[in-house]
Structure 1
Amino acid sequence: MSDFLGKAKEFADQHDEQVDQALEKGGDQIDDRTGGKYSQHVDRGVDEAQKRTGDGDTIPG
């Protein structure tokens, strides 16, 4: 299991921009499905996730 997590972290580090874009799209989907009801919380979660992958948030927000 730790080998999988290591590979996942390595991928995230190497493809930070793509990971950040995927997180952003996921957050947008949640906002769409909840009618934006939890938008503030979703945005904060996406921002924190982006900080913890790769070199940080590559998408200006």
Structure 2
Amino acid sequence: MSVLDKLKGMLKGHEDQAGKGIDKAGDMVDEKTQGKYASHVDTAQEKLKDQLGGQGQDSPPQ
């Protein structure tokens, strides 16, 4: 069993909270890099949400 499978199992039923955490982490990275890599961070957030079963576009773009 891969690490990603284990994470999916632990997050089952809590996808909305995981999505909020992903958004918060991305916002922190954007703040630390002064938005220099914002498009890359947004892409990574969406891919991670898709992998973990979260909602892809649950928050409007900034």
The normalised TM-score by structure 1 is: 0.78
Seq. identity, %: 28
- Summarize deviations over 1:15-59 as a string: whole Å, max 9, x none: 100000000000000000000000000000001101111254362
The yes-or-no answer on 1:26 pairing with 2:57 is: no
Greater helix share, structure number: 1
Runs of 4+ in 1 over 3 A off after TM superposition: 2-7
Note the residue ranges of structure 1 that are not aligned, 5 or more in a row: none
The residue number in structure 2 matching 1:12 is 11
> Aligned pair count?
60
Unmatched 5+ stretches in structure 2:
none
Counterpart in 2 of 1:46? 45
Superposition TM-score, scaled by structure 2 size: 0.77
User: Does the CA contact (< 8 Å) of 1:31 and 1:42 recur in 2?
Assistant: yes
CA RMSD in angstroms comes to 2.1
Secondary structure of the equivalent of 1:14? coil
Kindly name which structure, 1 or 2, has the bigger radius of gyration based on alpha carbons. 1
